[in-house]
Structure 1
Amino acid sequence: MGKHLDAAKAYFVRDGAGLLAGGRYALVHTRSLEFDELRPYVPGDDVRDIDWKATARTGHTLIKQFVSEKHHKILIVADTGRNASALTPSGERKCEVASHIIGAVGLITLPRSDEIGMVAGDRRGCVEIRLRRGETHIERMLHRYSQMVDDDPGAGDIVTQLEWVARHHRHPLLIVVVSDEPDIDDRLRDVLRPLTARHDLLWAMVADMPAVSAEDNGRGYDVADGRPILAADLLGERVITAYRAAEQRRRERLSELMTAQRIPHSYIASSRGIMPALVAMTGVYTRAG
């Protein structure tokens, strides 16, 4: 394997390959099916599978029978803006954790030869890497992500990438969004509606290190604009407490939006949290199915 996949593999459990293969932790439960044949309806069948045209034509109630597709089509949607250079609570750069998430999803696809691609960028626009299979393709995809993060990135704006996907991808995909926690606004709501209607979405949110804390030494700065962050002793405990409460409310509102849109999501604070987060998100599909 290349250096990027090798780095991701350090946080990848051996049985993680089963996450896409069906069963308890399968990422896709409902849309990974293709039409096989028609058969007579029997009590207990899902009425949503009835083929009404064939039923009217034959005079018998017929349902569509489906079989599992041999391969999945997975699209990574990643933010490569300046915010990706910030730190996580573990002290890792957010782009390092994001790269390991992308690599983990890539490793999951390898045993089944699933296709994987990527749409990545910042507020200025997107780069798309087409769906392909194989270790070499995934390593190149990770290398491109790393280049974009380190090569004079613009401001981060994951909605720009999501809007691109909504315009250009009409066939159902499993979309794994890898970004920080997005701002809740009308643009986000407007793009999620068509995406969730057509595709299955998972959202891996890479958490920020808290902007202020009681242990802060005042040497931090905002990666978006370079402004220094005031030291905790200058802000005072009252301001720090208010900041923590505001952050908690913001995260709760974001989680409510994702839940309302039926998007399994997880906050990932470190590379070691990647596999538990993937298992937790796939468990949502299990309970829903």
Structure 2
Amino acid sequence: MTALLNRIKARMTIHAHRRTRRLLDGDYSSVFHGHSLDFDDLRDYIPGDEIRDIDWKATARHSEPLVKRYVAHRRHILALVVDTSRNFDAVSSAGVDKRQLAILMAGMTGYLAVRHGDDVMLVHGNAEHTTASPRKGSEAHLEHLLQQILAESGTAADGSINEQLQWIAGHISHRMLVVVISDQAPLGPVEEATIKRLRAQHEMLWLTITDADLAGLQAASAPYDVARPQVGLPTSVMTKPAVHEEFARAEAARRQQRIDLLAKLGISHTEISHPDEALGRLHTLLLRHRRGPR
């Protein structure tokens, strides 16, 4: 059964004309950069890069250190790291199901990998446990992975993407492309240390599923905690402009902190709130990684 993947492939075909599909394939194949292979280009040094990759001659002619990038021609591994906690049993800022959006992005990225002849694995879970799948390179396997993300709906545990990232740091020694699909959970010093460790070993991309704008909802549709669906925010709170303004400022600060942290660590990042944005955001993410994060 390939119900989920077939829907994703259909969306890619309908919403991406031929040139865009070629661009997606090309951008994906350029993500991997290895050693002792075909030289590709130069880019600015990013903290975590290996010293041996610095092109000292080019650096001498430039104001900042430059590192060599290579195109690797071998079978690679794509690790989809997905938060499948109850945090994803909610809606995005555009009002769509966050879990379905995560499945869409995982499916699109995984499908590009399978088309490229690479293996795909899934690392998913919540704050209480992490599950990792075997790595394989077939569409049937990718469908199975997407079904696992769907099957976690209704779990009773909160999310903690750091748990899944720490699992990779402790169990995976070979170089991979790690694509993280998370929501807008805060990234603090603990998460920063884990991400920095992974960034030094793996290619990393980060995709954020945006959370619902609670301050923008009307009192009649007051939001509730997915952990306690019977408990909503009091109408008296939802109707106070000062509360809305303070919440909006806090959310903006948290978003900027996440963007700044990922930029500092040299990780290309994008946000998505609606399925119609999926292909464009994925293309931008791959292109940004290819050129080096700005």
Same fold per superposition (TM over 0.5):
yes
Q: Which amino acid aligns with 1:208?
A: D
- Give a deviation string over 1:151-180, Cα, whole Å, max 9, x none: x34111111100001111111110000110
| Other-structure match for 2:234 | 230
Residue 211 of structure 1 contacts residue 229 of structure 1 at CA under 8 Å; is this kept in 2?
no
| Other-structure match for 2:36 | 35
User: Relative to 1, partners in 2 of residues 1:232 and 1:198: Cα closer, same or farther, differing over 3 Å?
Assistant: farther
| Other-structure match for 1:102 | 106
| Other-structure match for 1:191 | 194
Correspondence 1:86 to 2:90:
yes
In 2: Cα distance, 1:18 partner to 1:82 partner: 36
2:133 aligned residue (123, 129, 134): 129
Q: Which deviates more, 3-12 or 158-167? A: 3-12
In 1: Cα distance, 2:159 partner to 2:29 partner: 27
SS in 1 for 2:220: coil
| Other-structure match for 2:279 | 275
Describe how 1:162-181 pairs up with structure 2 within 5 A: 162-181=165-184
Q: How many residue pairs were aligned?
A: 265
1:241 aligned residue (214, 238, 245): 245
Residue 30 of structure 2 contacts residue 71 of structure 2 at CA under 8 Å; is this kept in 1?
no
Q: Which amino acid aligns with 2:195?
A: L
| Other-structure match for 1:53 | none
| Other-structure match for 1:54 | none
Greater C-alpha Rg:
1
1:113 aligned residue (111, 117, 130): 117
How far apart are 1:210 and its partner, in Å? 0.9
How far apart are 1:19 and its partner, in Å? 5.7
In 2: Cα distance, 1:272 partner to 1:256 partner: 26
In 2: Cα distance, 1:203 partner to 1:122 partner: 17
User: Relative to 1, partners in 2 of residues 1:90 and 1:27: Cα closer, same or farther, differing over 3 Å?
Assistant: farther
Correspondence 1:11 to 2:11:
yes
Q: Which amino acid aligns with 1:198?
A: Q
Identity of aligned residues (%): 25
How far apart are 1:230 and its partner, in Å? 3.0
Unaligned runs of 5+ in 1: 38-46, 51-63
In 2: Cα distance, 1:233 partner to 1:122 partner: 30
Residue 71 of structure 1 contacts residue 114 of structure 1 at CA under 8 Å; is this kept in 2?
yes
| Other-structure match for 1:266 | 270
CA RMSD of superposed structures (Å):
2.8
In 2: Cα distance, 1:231 partner to 1:28 partner: 51
How far apart are 1:100 and its partner, in Å? 0.5
SS in 1 for 2:196: helix
In 2: Cα distance, 1:233 partner to 1:253 partner: 26
Residue 237 of structure 2 contacts residue 243 of structure 2 at CA under 8 Å; is this kept in 1?
no
How far apart are 1:233 and its partner, in Å? 7.2
SS in 2 for 1:33: coil
Unaligned runs of 5+ in 2: 39-50, 55-67
Q: Which deviates more, 224-233 or 120-129? A: 224-233
How far apart are 1:10 and its partner, in Å? 4.1
In 2: Cα distance, 1:203 partner to 1:215 partner: 31
How far apart are 1:280 and its partner, in Å? 1.6
- Give a deviation string over 1:107-149, Cα, whole Å, max 9, x none: 2123222111110001111111111011100001111111122
How far apart are 1:244 and its partner, in Å? 1.3
Q: What is the TM-score with the length of structure 1 in the denominator?
A: 0.82
- Give a deviation string over 1:41-60, Cα, whole Å, max 9, x none: xxxxxx9469xxxxxxxxxx
Q: What is the TM-score with the length of structure 2 in the denominator?
A: 0.80
Q: Which deviates more, 237-246 or 65-74? A: 65-74
Q: Which deviates more, 101-110 or 66-75? A: 66-75
Residue 178 of structure 1 contacts residue 204 of structure 1 at CA under 8 Å; is this kept in 2?
yes
